Every structure is written in C-alpha cells, then in structure tokens.
Chain A
C-alpha cells in the first residue's frame, strides 16, 4: 500500500473501530479489529443514526439521469459504510427557493437541510435564534473530529464559515483553490472567427467590431442573416460580470478599496448601458434577451446561431461542445478573456468565495443531532473525502500513482453524457454539498484541454472587487430585504428598458434618484458594516 493512502486510511480505520464499539454496524466491527487503537477518543462516542431525513435541492446534473440522491453511488456506498438510511426530499428543479421558504414556514423540518443558508432572508443567526436550525460549534467539537481538524488547520476557513455572532450553522461546502471557484466567463465561436479571419477580441471596442462582423459575415453559412452575435443573459452577467466588468463595476454590490458600492447606480453603469443599447439597436445582441430562459438559450446555441455568450465551463462549454461536435465537426467554442475597456486593462471577473454559505444544516427538531453530526462528518474524513469527490473506487475512479483518477466511463462516457452528469451518478464532485472539493478533481473534471484553457483564461481577471460572503444580523437583513425587493424589481425592469431603448439613457439620473429614494444608501451602509465586521473577525 502506498504510504499516502495508508496515512489516510489508518486514522479512518481507527474511527471505524470506535463506531464498531457502539455495535450499530456489524460490518464496521470486523474492519475495526484490523486497525490500530485510537489515541484520541472522544469523550462519549455515538453511533451513526439509523435513519434521517434530508432536504436538498435537486441538482440538474443528477436530475439528468436520476430521480433522487438515493440513486447516487456516493449515498448508496455511504449507507453501506454507516448503516444510515437516508430519506431524501427534493423540491422540483428550479423551485428550491420557494419550496425552502414554504418548508421553513410549515415548521415540519427534516433532520438535515442543505441550502445556501447565508442567503436565507434574515440570515443564519436568526434561523438559529428562531430555533429552526442548531448552532453546531459544540457539536462539531465533540462529535466531528474530521471537520474539527480541518478548521483547526485552516483558521481562515473557520473565520469564513462563522457568523458575526460566532455561530457555525452548516457543514460547509468549501473549495479552496481559485481554480475551483472560477467557472464562468465569455466564450466565442472560434471557428467563426477563423472563417471571418478575425482575432479573439480583447476590448469592448474590438468586441463590437467582431460582433458586427459575425452579424454581417454569415459565418454559419446558411445564406441567412440569422446569427445572434452575442446572446446576452443578464442573470449570468449578475454573477459572472462579463461585459459589465469591463467598466470596473458589477451589477450588484462590490468593494472598491474597502468601500462597498452598488454597481447599478455608478456613472460607469451609464456607459455600459449606452454601449448595450447601441448593440441592441444594431442587432448585435439577441432581441429576445429579456425573455431568455435556459431552454431558449440551448435551442439557439445548438441551432448553430450564437456567436458568443457568457457561460459555465461544464454545463455550457462542455455540454454544448459534446452536443454540437457530432453534427458540426468544425464547432469550436472557446473561453476567451473578459473584455476590458482598454487594451491591456482588467475586467472584474467571476470567482466564488471559498465558502458561499452553502452547506448542510441540522434542524432544531432533529432527535439525535450528535449522531447526525457524526454522519455528516464522514465526508470530511479521508475516506469520505474520496467518496464525495470521486465516488466509488473501481467504478468512477482508480488509484493511479497514489492519485485518484477518474475512469474512462466518467471522462468519455459511453452514453455520451457530459462529465458533470456522468460523475453525478457516483459522486458529489460536480456540484455543491457538505464536503471539501478536492483540488485534483477539478483539474480532472474539465478533462478537455479547451475547458482547462477556458478556466485559466477566465482566472486572469480582477477579483479584488468581489465581496466575500457577508453575514448580516437578523435586524439588518430584514431591513435590507424590504428595500432590496423594490430596488431589484425596479433595477431589472429599467435595465431592460434602457438596453431596448424604451427608456432614453438620458433618464439615467432620474433612475439613480429613484433607487436612492428606495433606500439604497442605507443598504450600502449595512453591507459596509458587515464587511468591516468580517475583516475584523478573528
């Protein structure tokens, strides 16, 4: 056995030995006898729970081939190893936010609720105060040795997953490496550029020329002027910041040298709108952008109509390529640099914070929280780490030179599934969950060179302006949600109108005035305070 593996496995076996003592899982006892005795025994060891209920949004990668997380290899294997029977409850895809709110209102909470708790209205501290979920600090200390160790080794992580009131509210989804957190950016049809003899555009001006050429040059060669040069999706822009980032702002909150600002009321936003309005008028962006949904986007992309679009590396670059390659062998969609305003300039890009408030919380009605904590902690141990990231050895991965390596079945799926869907049959690797993402997985996860190249290209952007995930007090967040609701409605309405030219750009000042009247200044102050608290946290 390789040294690396044994160093992982021995402590895990020791842990297994302890479980064995509780007598709940006969399989574990036999394993335990082989292991060494454990030096660090917790004060009172608990067993894995016999069963638990678990609410989590259905992920699109899973939904593509399965109906429930129970069908995933990772949870089937986890059940074998821990003996815990999990009753998964999934809201329909796309409705998890509504359903989550209804779930909380109903008061009948399942044992574990996986969600982006930081984004919950009134925040996680309030959820703890209102006795919806448990404060986990003490439970983690006592019953989650794996997570405790991670937190002890990485104080920065601990700082991020704690609220201002010092609560840990979830078993976190955590990705350390920048490489794992950049996954969205602009992409363009390189084959079309080559056909039109154009270089990859770098600045907004060059983009305008390129898009015009795509509009007029009939690169899809059907003799019709039906190309959509740029498929603009404002929702993607909101988190990826392509195009708007060129102006050094985002369409939401960002920080400028430690000061929080709201992009849509900055003067730069007016410049951005002016350009977008021109592009719309010229037919460079899709006329239907305001009513765009995923289905329509996919239809246009696979209809060989779209020249450029901001998209994700897996469910975007990867899936479109695997869909289009068979029909159009020349199809070459590549990730390109975030356009800057000037040559050599930097755009704000997309990069998630290592922890964005997503993870598995334990509801306050759970009868056996200690056992559930122990069960959740499994994913943070060495064996669990492999299981949650890579799935099942021999099926979804094999050990090559001591490194877990995805099998052919995953990387070049015989049923033509994109990697993100193929791996979802076995592991959590392609989407969030209560575990730490393995660096090596992300590297393999985008196995095609063009995907790796895209991520590397997108990483070259300005990430200093992005805000870390802030926690607000319950008072703050209830005040904020009330003004932000009006502001968001007004903003999304006006942006469309400005771009489509239904509202002249000249009324930008009036628009800013309205947003200020709706109370944006107070919201910015609140965010500022939260940012300062986070920076001061230790």
Chain B
C-alpha cells in the first residue's frame, strides 16, 4: 500500500509486455499439471467443508425448523443475537473464551519458540533427538485419550495428588475447583503441543545462514549473544506469521478438550462459547440460537485476524497478505 502511487504505471507497462493473467495461469497449469492435480483435493476440501456450509449460516437469522428447511423457515433478524447478548451467561462466556485464548497466546505460544531455541543449543544430537521425540509424541495421541489421562492423573487420588501428599502438600481438587481449570487447560496444552510446535521454528533456525554466526563470533559474540542477535531475528518472520495465524483462531479455543475436561462445578471458568453452543445446539437442538452464537464467535475471529495482520504490517515487515 505504501507504494500505491507507482502501481498503475507499472501495471500498464506490464500489460503490454505480458499475456493476461488467465493465459499465464493456463500455461502454468499445462506445464505443472501434476502439481495442480495434487492441489485439487485441498481445493475441494475447502469448497465442500468450509465454503459450502456458509450457505447454512442463514439459520442464525431464521426460526429454523428442520422440516421447513433452510429456505422455508421464517426470518427473525437479529433476535438470537440479542437473546445471546442479553443472556445471563454472555459476559462469563466471553470472558472465559478470551482469557483461555489470551493465556494460550501468552504461555503456550512462546513455549514452542523457547523449546526450539533451547534445542538448537544442544550439541549432542542423540539427546536432542530424544527430547524432540518425547516432546512431540503427545501430539499424536487423541484428545479423548489425553483428557482421560489427565482425569486419571489429576483426580483426588491420582498421580499428581499423590506426589503432592508425598512431598507434604495438600491435595488439590484440580478438576472440580474452577480456580484450577485454566492452569490445567493451558499446562496440558503445552505438554501436548510444545514439541510439535517447535518443529517449524527448528526448521526456520536451520535455514539461517551459518556465515551470520561466524560473523557474530568474529565480532566476539558469545552463545547467548548469538541467540539474541542472530537466531531470534532469523526466526522472527516465522514467529510473527505463526502469531497472526494463532490470533486468527483466537476465539476458537479447544472446545472438544474443554467438553472432555469440564463439569458443572468448573463451568465458572471453563464454559466457553464453543461449549455453550454445543449444549444449546446439539443437546437442546436449539439450532438457530447456537448458529447465531457460533457466527458471533467467527466474526470476532475474522476481525482479530485482520487487525493482527494490519498491525504486523505496520510495525514489522512480515504479513500474511
């Protein structure tokens, strides 16, 4: 956007030199058709599962009845949105959703970067591989199993409490005390995903030009200085892209995991928009209402994504688009 004044002239010039976009695309498809064929399933996936269902969003504005169908149900405007904003739980749901996302951003997100930086400093490759394997294995375990393990570990006479009593501390009601829920959620999230998340940063680190390190060494930088002045700036674009992506799904906290971990005594801190939508929509078959709530959630996500990208474009050179 910054170079906007010069764009038109450039375009005009290009138009004379190059064939049209469609023609270029067509030529590219002919040449690289295998690549495009590989792309097809992905495009189909998005069309079918992400763009197709947008049609159904209209039920958020309709008194939807399955027998009348999408088109037959009468319009009610923003009634469901108003209901939700006025509902008893609106404030709490919003707060819980935002806080869980914020904590994830504050703790879980940097954890992967830090792990990658630390792993990079490990010289024994066998140890490094071991750590990597151990840390990213939990990523491959189903969330249902993970939650089951958590419940076992954290119950009143579970592993964690036994360790606590063994070291002379009071056992805690991790799963029924609302004060613990956020900690349990975030900490277990880190445990499950930190290793996997660090892979992309390790890849980014390995792409840093080694001559930069040599130059830094010549300038007298120690290990810590090298990390600070070479490694971190080197992976910063990757970190920022990941951050923007993360913000894009800011409000989409792991509903499935919360559903598996929460219970009525932890609703106070655990109930988020997603779980509320599940209870209202699926359990009470209040489809229109929950569609409205879900849509509200997505709109916030969308706005945050745009905002994050704009901020990043303004203050750093990195951006998604």
In whole Å, how far is A366's beta carbon from the nearest beta carbon of chain B?
A: 15
Which residue of the partner chain A has the closest CB to B64? Answer: A105
Bound together, the chains give a CA A287 to CA B171 distance in angstroms of: 11
Taken together as a complex, chains A and B put the C-alpha atoms of A245 and B224 apart, in Å, by 68
Q: State whether A101 and B265 are in contact (beta carbons under 8 Å apart), knowing that A291-B151, A486-B87, A486-B88 are contacts in the complex.
A: no
Q: Which residue of B lies closest to A95 (CB)?
A: B282
State whether A101 and B264 are in contact (beta carbons under 8 Å apart), knowing that A107-B67, A291-B175 are contacts in the complex: no
Q: Mark B252-293, 1 if CB is under 8 A from A, else 0.
A: 000000000001110110010000000110111111000000
- Find residues 279-300 in chain A having any chain B CB closer than 8 Å to their own CB: 287-288, 290-291, 296
Q: Is the CB of A290 within 8 A of B176?
A: yes
Per-residue CB contact flags for chain B residues 158-188 toward chain A (1 = under 8 Å, else 0) read 0000000000000001011110000000000
Q: Assuming the A-B contacts A486-B87, A489-B89, are A497 and B265 also in contact, with contact meaning beta carbons closer than 8 angstroms in the complex?
A: yes
Is B220 an interface residue when CB atoms closer than 8 A count as contact?
no
Would you call the interface of chain B mostly helix, strand, loop, or mixed? loop
Among candidates B66, B265, B279, residue contacting A107 with C-beta atoms closer than 8 Å: B66
A-B contact count (CB 8 A): 84
The answer to whether A288 touches B283 (Cβ under 8 A) is no
Asked if A481 and B284 sit within 8 Å, CB to CB, the answer is yes
Structural contact, B155 and A291, CB atoms closer than 8 A? yes
> What residues of chain B lie closer than 8 Å to A132, measured between beta carbons?
66-67
A72 at the interface (CB under 8 A from B): no
Whether, in the assembled complex, B95 has its beta carbon less than 8 Å from a beta carbon of chain A, the answer is no
Rounded to whole angstroms, the CA-CA distance of A372 and B65 in the bound complex is 27
Per-residue CB proximity of A489-513 to B under 8 Å, as 1/0?
Answer: 1101101110010100000000000
B70-106: CB near A (< 8 Å → 1, else 0) gives: 0000000000000100011100000000000000000
Given known pairs A101-B282, A106-B66, A287-B156, the reply for A500 and B173 (CB within 8 Å) is: yes
CB atoms of B155 and A288 under 8 A apart: yes
Q: Is A485's CB under 8 angstroms from B176's CB? A: no
Interface 0/1 of A427-439, CB less than 8 Å to B: 0000000000000
Could you say which interface size class chain B belongs to? 20 to 34
Task: Say yes or no: A485-B279 contact (C-beta < 8 A), given A288-B176, A502-B177.
Answer: yes
Given A106-B66, A107-B66: A291 in contact with B263 (beta carbons within 8 A): yes
Q: Scan residues 96-136 of chain A and give those whose CB is less than 8 A from a CB of chain B.
A: 97-98, 101-102, 104-107, 121, 130-132
CB closest chain-A residue, reference B281: A101
Which residues of chain B from 122 to 171 have any CB-CB distance to chain A below 8 Å in the complex? 151, 155-156
Number of A positions contacting B (CB below 8 A): 33
Q: Which residue of chain A has its CB nearest to the CB of B271?
A: A489
| Residues on the B chain within 8 Å of A121, using CB | 284-286
CB-based nearest A residue for B67: A130
Residues from chain A with a CB closer than 8 A to the CB of B271 are 489
Q: Which residue of the partner chain A has the closest CB to B280?
A: A485
B285 x A489 contact (CB < 8 A): no
Determine if B283 and A493 form an interchain contact, defined as CB atoms under 8 angstroms apart: no
Q: What are the residues of chain B within 8 A of A492 when measuring CB–CB?
A: 264, 267
B279 and A287 form a contact (CB under 8 A) = no
Q: Is the CB of B267 within 8 A of A98?
A: no
In the bound complex, what is the Cα–Cα distance between A72 and B282 (angstroms)?
Answer: 30
For residue A467, CB closer than 8 A to chain B, the reply is no
Taking a contact as CB atoms under 8 Å apart, the answer to whether A104 and B66 are in contact is yes
Measured between alpha carbons, how far is A291 from B173 in the docked complex, in Å? 10
A73-B38 Cα distance, complex, nearest whole Å: 51
Alpha-carbon gap, A493 to B268, bound state (A): 8
A514 to B88, CA, bound (A): 9
Which residues from B are CB-within-8-Å of A106? 66
Judged by a CB distance under 8 angstroms, whether A52 is at the interface is no
Query: Which B residues lie at the A interface, using CB under 8 A?
Result: 65-69, 83, 87-89, 151, 155-156, 173, 175-178, 263-265, 267-268, 271, 279-280, 282-287
What are 21 A-B interface contacts by the 8 Å CB criterion?
Answer: A98-B282, A101-B283, A105-B66, A130-B66, A130-B68, A288-B176, A290-B265, A296-B155, A481-B286, A482-B286, A489-B271, A492-B264, A492-B267, A493-B264, A493-B267, A493-B268, A496-B263, A496-B264, A500-B177, A500-B265, A502-B177
Known: A130-B65, A492-B264. 20 other contacts (CB 8 A): A101-B284, A101-B285, A102-B282, A104-B285, A131-B67, A288-B156, A290-B176, A290-B265, A291-B175, A291-B263, A481-B286, A482-B83, A485-B279, A495-B264, A496-B264, A500-B177, A500-B265, A502-B177, A514-B88, A517-B88
Q: Which 6 A-B pairs have the closest CB atoms?
A: A496-B265, A492-B264, A101-B285, A290-B176, A290-B265, A130-B67
The chain A residues found within 8 Å of chain B, CB to CB, are 97-98, 101-102, 104-107, 121, 130-132, 287-288, 290-291, 296, 481-482, 485-486, 489-490, 492-493, 495-497, 500, 502, 514, 517-518
